[in-house]
Structure 1
Amino acid sequence: MGFSTSGAVAILFIGLLVAVGIVYPTLETAHDRRAGAIDERDERALDLRNAAFEVETSYDAGSETVSVNVTNTGTTTLSVTEIDLLLDGVLQTETATAVNDDATRERLHSGEVLEITVENVAEEPNRVKVVTEHGLARVLTEGGG
């Protein structure tokens, strides 16, 4: 083997080391992000499995007010700001909320009751739907289902 062959092998070896040095951090970062995403997905799935709630509604025709009581019967804490209320398929954005009669609370822990009040509702809704941040939903219809 002459010098030219040894020099060519050395140049190829150095090029290989540089290429691996560039590719390895990229692959490591991609692996870390994928592992983090899998952990987050598993955490969301666990929260969904442990989330449960019950819904009761009442309508006061005199004051045109609908009151919806959401009782957290699961072990997952729910975010009050992430709970959506639909009356007859219409998302209600102007609502008043209170957790155990405290309007400043933003978390609904297990066993606690969230009262959602909607005013200026002309007639009693036929369908009430409550959806949590985890996508869990409960629907009450006029027939009580």
Structure 2
Amino acid sequence: MGFSVSASTAIVFAGLFLAFGIFYPAAVNGYERVTEAQQTSMDAALNEKNGDTAIASASLDTGTDTLTVDVDNTGSTTFYVDEVDLVVGGEYIPRGQFDSTEVDGNPDTNLWQPGTTLTIDYTDSSIQSGDRVVIITEHGIRDSVTL
């Protein structure tokens, strides 16, 4: 073999080495991202399966037009208070419009632990007796009651 054949072989191997050096990290990073996404999806499914809520009471004070909803976390999943949605009479109530939220009397916590009660107060003059109240958690777990 002459020098030109050896040099061209070395260039081909250097190119293969460089290509593998570029391909391998990209493949590993892609695999890690897919694995992490699958794990996140499985965790969310487990939280959904283990989560449960029950509306203990929903009352309307007609003098102040204030709706008070007490919801028990009866599952084994911890929810975030700022991820809880409320629908009253078919109308979505944004979280920022709640008058107050408390977990077992504590207005400062964002964690709604299993076995505790979340109390939501909301004032609106359009709420009437007979309206349906629906509470929905971050995992789509919901419960409803009619006023």
Q: Which aligned runs of 4 or more in structure 1 are off by greater than 4 angstroms? A: none
**What's the CA shift for 1:4?**
2.4
CA distance in 1, matches of 2:136, 2:66: 20
**Comparing 8-17 and 114-123, the one that deviates more:** 114-123
- The aligned residue for residue 73 of structure 1 is 74
Query: What is the aligned length?
Result: 142
**Comparing 116-125 and 64-73, the one that deviates more:** 116-125
- The aligned residue for residue 51 of structure 2 is 51
Is 1:12 the counterpart of 2:17? The answer is: no
Q: How does 1:1-145 map to 2 (within 5 A)?
A: 1-55=1-55, 56-93=57-94, 94-95=97-98, 96-122=100-126, 123-124=128-129, 126-141=131-146
**What's the CA shift for 1:125?**
5.0
CA distance in 1, matches of 2:39, 2:110: 25
| TM-score, normalised via structure 1 length | 0.90
For residue 33 of structure 1, give the secondary structure of its aligned residue in structure 2. helix
**Comparing 116-125 and 93-102, the one that deviates more:** 116-125
Unaligned runs of 5+ residues in structure 1 are: none
Residue type of the partner of 1:73? T
Whether contact under 8 Å (1:85, 1:130) holds in the other structure is yes
CA distance in 1, matches of 2:63, 2:18: 78
Whether contact under 8 Å (1:99, 1:105) holds in the other structure is yes
Identity of paired residues, percent? 34
RMSD (CA atoms): 1.5
Residue type of the partner of 1:114? L
Unaligned runs of 5+ residues in structure 2 are: none
**What's the CA shift for 1:131?**
0.7
Whether contact under 8 Å (1:61, 1:124) holds in the other structure is no
